[in-house]
Amino acid sequence: MLVEELQKRSRECQEFVRKSFLAERIEHPALQEALKHYFSYWNDFTHPGLFSIAFEVAGGKSQRALEPQAAIAMIAAGFDIHDDIIDKSAEKHSYQTVFGKYGQDLALLLGNAFMINGLTLLELSILDLPAEVSTTIVETIKKCLFEVGNAHALELGLKGSTTVSAQKYLKILEMKAASVEADMHIAALVASGKSEESELLRNYGRILGTLATLREEFVDIYDVAELKRRVRRETLPVPLMLAMQQIGLRRKITERLEKTRLDRNDLETLMDLVFECEPVGELKKRMGRLCLEAQSLADRIEKRKGISPLKRLARSMLEDL
């Protein structure tokens, strides 16, 4: 239900992005094909959907949202394509990425195009706002993008290590939450420019982004293909890191992760070892506290109409964990 709402809120924006890019004069045939291929699987409803909710909560008029919403979606797409290059992700969820099908050079160029178009459109879409509001938006996008970039840079040094401090990696995940903070903070500023509402949604966005990144860490343990990819090329999911810091569990977990093929029994054993571990239980309790904090922030929003989706979003981060 919540996913359907985010998808519905994103459809017009997604169509706008597709039409804008396909109308661009891209002379290189392979780059044209790479763009079409990306759009064949691109379905980001998270960033534009969250932007839409925050915009509505802050009292914005719907016709004013489309261009800045599309700009946020373009910037997120640029990061997505660049992340695939960094992670050497040739496939994701059964489809070939642009990097996997067309190589690093074209993927880099396409990611750059999304970033350039997104940042340009964002600037053009806020020209009519009061100077102090537009300046705050520019400062917000710069600060948050740098924070996300720093998170990815710090993560590079941890790849392939099984002795990473879970606490250090948790800090990196919190930094990645800056992207969701930007979505909701900028949406509120575009909608009303009111300091109190935009600050509430900024803080809410940071918490929601943190919960979302932590949730993905748990979800990746359930997905055999994603888990094996992370074992080979990236850092282990945080719950596994926490469990491996416990005396007696490291060897048991390592034995299974080093197997050429993980079967269902191996995965179930891993999950039992992880979810019965006290530090993982503490992490889940921490997520519960963050969820309550996010809902408390939602209760402070003046426009009561927007509270329900904000609360449901926070609660959804804990479902099935």
Single pTM value for the model: 0.91
**Domain range for 98:** 1-125
Dihedrals phi, psi of 199, to nearest 5 degrees? -70, -40
Residues 167 and 313 in one domain: yes
Digit-coded pLDDT (tens) for 38-87: 999 999 999 999 999 999 988 888 778 999 999 999 999 999 999 999 98
Pick the last residue of a domain from 99, 125, 151.
125
Residues 183 and 316 in one domain: yes
Q: Which pair of tokens denotes residue 193?
A: 């420019």
Digit-coded pLDDT (tens) for 251-309: 888 888 888 777 778 888 888 888 888 999 999 999 999 999 999 999 888 765 667 88
Residues 294 and 227 in one domain: yes
Residues 39 and 98 in one domain: yes
Digit-coded pLDDT (tens) for 107-136: 999 999 999 999 999 999 999 999 999 999
Alpha helix (H) ranges present in the chain? Answer: 2-22, 29-41, 46-57, 66-87, 98-102, 104-125, 131-156, 166-176, 178-191, 195-222, 224-233, 238-244, 250-257, 264-275, 278-299, 307-316
Distance CA 270, CA 58 (A): 44
- List the CATH number of the domain containing 115: 1.10.600.10
**Do the domain assignments include residue 98?**
yes
Average of per-residue pLDDT across 149-160: 86
- The answer to whether the CB of 54 falls within 8 A of the CB of 184 is yes
Give me the number of domains the chain comprises.
2
Please name which of 315, 320, 118, 97 lies closest in space to residue 219, comparing C-alpha atoms: 320
